[in-house]
Amino acid sequence: PDEIKRVSVAVIKRLPKYYECLGNLLKNNVERVSSQELSKILGFTASQIRQDLNNFGEFGQQGYGYNVQQLYLEISKILGLDTVHKMVLIGAGNLGQALVNYGEFRTHGFDIVAVFDTNPALIGRKINNVPIYSTEEIEYFIKENEIDIAVMTVPKGEAEKVAGILEKTRIRGIWNFTPVEIKLENEDILIENVHLIDSLFTLSYRINENKLQKRLLKQKRKIFP
């Protein structure tokens, strides 16, 4: 059988940027766009853009560029945004509640249909119209409702336990916000970790960058005066 060609993570991480950019062009009634024009907007080189998109098929035409609407639809399919993903969220604390209250996920077809928590004071209540159930019902609920994705926002000490429960279901992916690196025996369940702190460190690096460059320059001058 033909082996599935794996696309590199770096390419996958750029896809949402293409999607967002094409969405904006579409809103502005732009019909076609060249890789050079995309390059100016996105800051990746035109050849990088052509290479990235070639991973998924031949969308562009020499001398014409890309049809914005067509490429937008193709990328939305590639990202799986043309279907609704049913999700549950486990751990209705500070972060969990904020995520359930964020409406933009649903706009893109990511629908949080239930929340689970161990705290009796929360069970039976609703967040943003989404019911909170006892964690004892996780397995049953996921099976009955064909849930795709579980969002994990429990305290770090509970992460392994919750992952163990999820492993017994046919969930497709875990969006893991806990700082725990989850290891599952079931390799069919994909895990995507979110570390907001990485983004903060990146910002901090950029704030520091000028100082850093000056220091490096000074060092170089000392070595090669």
Nearer to ligand NAI among residue 76 and residue 153 (C-beta) = 153
CB of 167 to ligand NAI, least distance (A): 14
Question: What is the binding site for ligand NAI (CB under 6 A)?
Answer: 90-96, 116-119, 135, 153-156, 158, 161-162, 177-179, 194-197
Q: Which of 182, 111, 115 is closest to 148 using CA atoms?
A: 111
Closest CB to ligand NAI: residue number: 93
| Residues counted in the chain | 225
- 157 marked as part of a ligand binding site: no
- 208 marked as part of a ligand binding site: no
- 96 marked as part of a ligand binding site: yes
Q: How far apart are CA 60 and CA 120, in angstroms?
A: 56
Residue 53 burial (C-beta neighbours within 10 Å; 0-12, 13-18, 19+):
buried
Nearer to ligand NAI among residue 131 and residue 217 (C-beta) = 131
Nearer to ligand NAI among residue 84 and residue 197 (C-beta) = 197
- 124 marked as part of a ligand binding site: no
Nearer to ligand NAI among residue 60 and residue 96 (C-beta) = 96
Q: How far apart are CA 124 and CA 115, in angstroms?
A: 10
CB of 174 to ligand NAI, least distance (A): 13
CB of 90 to ligand NAI, least distance (A): 5
Beta strand residue intervals within the chain, DSSP E = 32-33, 66-67, 85-90, 110-117, 126-127, 130-134, 149-152, 173-176, 190-193
Q: How far apart are CA 222 and CA 205, in angstroms?
A: 24
Residue 217 CA to chain centroid, in angstroms? 37
Q: How far apart are CA 102 and CA 110, in angstroms?
A: 11
Which DSSP letter does residue 121 get? T
CB of 190 to ligand NAI, least distance (A): 17
CB of 92 to ligand NAI, least distance (A): 5
Nearer to ligand NAI among residue 81 and residue 194 (C-beta) = 194
Detail the residues annotated as belonging to a binding site. Answer: 91-96
Binding residues for NAD(+): 91-96
